[in-house]
Structure 1
Amino acid sequence: MTLRTEKINELIRQKLSQIISEEIELPPNTLVTITKAETSPDLKNSKIYITVLPENFRGSTLKILDKNRHHLYQKLKTFLKTKFTPNLKFVIDEQEVFAAEVDKILDEINKQ
């Protein structure tokens, strides 16, 4: 990954986090965190990894984000100074989910 792509990924992560928190209506008491963005070298596609708390709102939150993908794309377009604005695909960050499960198991072991 080039330095340029890394900078674009970080900008996408920051700006989408801001737009989602300010403009997208999510279920009450739901926290969405964008853990990372992976943009293709040609800048045409970007996979956005998210975590959702509480976990039982993952599916509905993904549906809301997918439904608002065009709005997010248009807003993101105003911040990126590139020829292309990547198409967005939101996915649950399974690595973070796995890490949370490991932490839970370790906490249980420490309690014993």
Structure 2
Amino acid sequence: MAKNKFHTGPGPSQRQLRVGELVRRRLSDVLAHGDIHDPDLNRMSITVAEVRTSPDLKVATAYVLPLGGDHAQEALEALIRNRSELRRVVAKGLALKYAPQLRFVLDDTFDRMDETRRLFSQEAVKRDIADDQEDDDAL
């Protein structure tokens, strides 16, 4: 099978998914309760959309976005600045052999959804979809 830019190999294991979700919940709780000693970070409401872990579970990449999407870069900088404290506090609440190194990435899922909606609202696309549905109905 030929590889392309969308196919990077097998998906995450059940273990990676389970640990990612545990880290996501714990990180969300820590951020919601203001357990970090940084007033800039504590005044922000940050959503943790997803956490993906490396196969060895030693790196956890958190996809985050501040509520409303405002001040996203500022929120990312605050998270990166406090990553060691976040790692310690998150790991304290989990029963893992290793505390995963935390990486933070801005979540662009909502931007991609908006772009998809914009594309589907174009007249040419609507016409093509209608033509395809008529072809399917004829079969």
- TM-score category (smaller protein): 0.7 to 0.9
Alignment match of 1:18 (pick from 15, 29, 33): 29
Alpha-carbon distance in 2 for matches of 1:70, 1:4 = 24
Cα root mean square deviation, aligned: 2.2
Residue-pair matches, total = 106
**How far apart in 2 are the matches of 1:50 and 1:63?**
12
Q: Aligned partners of 1:57, 1:27: CA distance in 2, in Å?
A: 14
- What is the CA–CA distance in structure 2 between the aligned matches of 1:27 and 1:56, rounded to whole Å? 15
Aligned-partner residue type, residue 15 of structure 1: R
CA distance in 2, matches of 1:70, 1:10: 20
Letter in 1 for 2:31: I
- Note the residue ranges of structure 1 that are not aligned, 5 or more in a row: none
Higher strand share: 1
Corresponding residue number in structure 1 for 2:136: none
Greater relative contact order structure (CA < 8 Å, 6+ sep): 1
Shift of 1:52: 1.9
- CA distance 1:33–1:19, change in 2 (3 Å): same
Higher Rg: 2
Match of 2:113 among 99, 103, 110: 99
Superposition deviation, residue 59 in structure 1 = 0.7
Aligned position for 1:78: 92
The runs of 5 or more residues in structure 2 that have no matched partner are: 1-11, 123-139
